[in-house]
Each structure stands twice: as C-alpha cells, then as structure tokens.
Amino acid sequence: MICNERDIRNRTVRALAEAVMTAARTAPKAKGRDLVEAALITEDDLERLAEAMRELSAESGMKFLLRDANNVLQAEAVLVIGIREAGSECGLNCSYCGSPSCEAKPANVPCLMNGVDVGIAIGSACAQAADLRLDSRVMFSAGWGAKRMNVLDGADLVFGIPLGAASKNPFFDRKSPEKKADKPAAEALK
C-alpha cells in the first residue's frame, strides 16, 4: 500500500487537533476551578463559522474579520476555547479586575483569573500544536464568530485557533481584503 500525505492530511490534522484540544483541558487553572470549555469545528461547520465572521464584519465595520474568515476556510479544523461563568469570582480578592474585592466586582465584569485561565489554556494548546508541527494562530475573530454560533453553549471570552498543515502557514503574512495589491517591486525601487 502506498499512502500519499496529501490524501490523508485532512484526517491527520483533525486527529492531531484532538490532542491540541486535550492540551487546553489539562492546562493549570486558578484555584483548580475548571471553567474552561473547548470544541473543534470541522468540515461544513467551518463555512458556518466563516459566515458568522462575515456577518460580524458587516455589522461592526471591522474589515479584518473578512480576512480571518478566509483563513478559517484554509484550516482543517478550528479549536475554540472559552470559559463558562467568566464573571464568577475566584475569591482571591486580588483587585486585578479593578474592584476592591470579589464582592464589590460588578456582575458584568469578568474575573481576571478566569481570563488568565483561558490564556493559559490557549498557550498550552498552541504549544501542543507547535510540538505536532501544525500551523496555527490565535484569533479573537474566530472566537467571536464561534460565540455567535454558540459553539460553547454560552461560554464567554472565546477565542479560536485555526489548525492546518501546509507548506507555508496560511495564517501568517496575510493580506487584508481592504488593502490594494502592493506595487510591483520594480516600481517600489523608483
């Protein structure tokens, strides 16, 4: 049997994406409270995510969402990481949220420790993706689209990480759709 990498790439990236998602789960959390949620978006749901991002672009006027929506379509999977009950207090009275105590924190203000937990989970996931030699990039925009789709059942502070395997990472050195093509190099030297 001969197996060409191009024929199994999509399936391989999706299987490795599960290991990346597991790395997010096992990341340390403040006071051991596990409020982190994670899910993978694949196949036809990548188009649904891209469409949600396009809608957000139209509503907000943020054109970079169009570029990022195109990036999502270049991924084999998008890992979505967020946190349940972002506003729930950790009970440390650290004042990092800007309030003097957890009890004084307004309900609509996230506990900073919960935000740190999401960040650590994202870092663990990205480290695992790098260890597995997967292309990746953390995208607020993909998380925003996933939040609109309610991928994580009401979770807050949601981020997306597109994952792929290409000869060049498609998630970097991107051109914004609103920018015109660069002048040819010869003209730029004049």
Spatial contact of 128 and 13, defined as CB atoms under 8 Å apart: no
Determine the Cα–Cα distance for residues 83 and 152; give it in Å rounded to an integer: 8
How many C-beta atoms lie closer than 10 Å to residue 74's C-beta?
A: 16
Give residue for tokens 């995510």: 49
Q: What is the pLDDT of residues 151-190, one digit of tens each?
A: 999 898 999 999 999 988 888 887 766 554 444 544 544 4
- Judged by average pLDDT, the poorest of 52-56, 128-132, 174-178 is 174-178
**Total tally of structural domains belonging to the chain:** 1
- Residue 120 predicted with pLDDT over 50: yes
Q: What is the pLDDT of residues 66-93, one digit of tens each?
A: 999 999 999 999 999 999 887 788 889 9
The pLDDT, as a whole number, for residue 40 is 97
Spatial contact of 84 and 118, defined as CB atoms under 8 Å apart: no
Asked if residue 181 belongs to a domain, the reply is no
Asked if residue 182 belongs to a domain, the reply is no
Asked if residue 160 belongs to a domain, the reply is yes
Asked if residue 188 belongs to a domain, the reply is no
Q: Which residues contact 77 (CB under 8 A, 6 or more apart)?
A: 13, 14, 17, 40, 41, 42, 46, 162, 163, 164
Query: What pairs with residue 159 in β-bridges?
Result: 81
- Residue 23 predicted with pLDDT over 80: yes
DSSP collapsed to 3 states, 31-98:
HHCCCEEEEEEECHHHHHHHHHHHHHHHHHCCCHHHHHHHHHCCCCEEEEEEECCCCCCCCCCCCCCC
Structural domain range at position 73: 7-165
- Rounded to two decimals, the pTM is 0.87
Mean pLDDT of the chain: 90
Can you give the CATH number for the domain in which 112 is found? 3.40.109.10
Distance between terminal CA atoms of the chain? 56
How many C-beta atoms lie closer than 10 Å to residue 78's C-beta?
A: 28
Confidence of residue 34 (pLDDT cuts 50, 70, 90): confident
The pLDDT, as a whole number, for residue 176 is 66
Q: What is the DSSP letter of 104?
A: T
Asked if residue 118 belongs to a domain, the reply is yes
Asked if residue 157 belongs to a domain, the reply is yes
Asked if residue 189 belongs to a domain, the reply is no
Asked if residue 145 belongs to a domain, the reply is yes
